[in-house]
Amino acid sequence: SQQGEEDPQALSIQEGENATMNCSYKTSINNLQWYRQNSGRGLVHLILIRSNEREKHSGRLRVTLDTSKKSSSLLITASRAADTASYFCATVSGNTGKLIFGQGTTLQVKP
């Protein structure tokens, strides 16, 4: 089962611009994670934000979490063509370690 929605489903921007992707979820969470997937390959873990955190940074990535709205956003600044990929949010509830994924956003960065 999917946890919730991601929007937009697809995003196309020029190199150098910022890209923002949003994720909503339905249940209480332990943490929320963002992953990148290039061309149907394995997933790469980008960043994890715990339920008691509101914002986190990693390089050009900025993630926010609003547990009252059950939503998160991923901002990629100064995008590069190499950022072209699908991005997924995933939530973890309790101690099971199970990831429940959102629908994903396909990002295309044009050189």
Partner 1 sequence: SAVISQKPSRDICQRGTSLTIQCQVDSQVTMMFWYRQQPGQSLTLIATANQGSEATYESGFVIDKFPISRPNLTFSTLTVSNMSPEDSSIYLCSVNDGSYEQYFGPGTRLTVT
Binding site for partner 1 (CB under 8 A): 1-2, 30-31, 33, 35, 40-45, 48, 50, 88, 90, 92, 96-104
Q: What's the closest the beta carbon of residue 15 comes to partner 1, in angstroms?
A: 25
Read off the tokens for 2.
Answer: 């999917």
77: amino acid identity, one letter = T
Instruction: Give 15 or 47: the residue with its C-beta nearer to partner 1.
Output: 47
Residue with tokens 């937009």: 8
Q: Cβ neighbours of residue 43 under 8 Å, at least 6 residues apart?
A: 35, 36, 37, 88
Q: What's the closest the beta carbon of residue 78 comes to partner 1, in angstroms?
A: 25
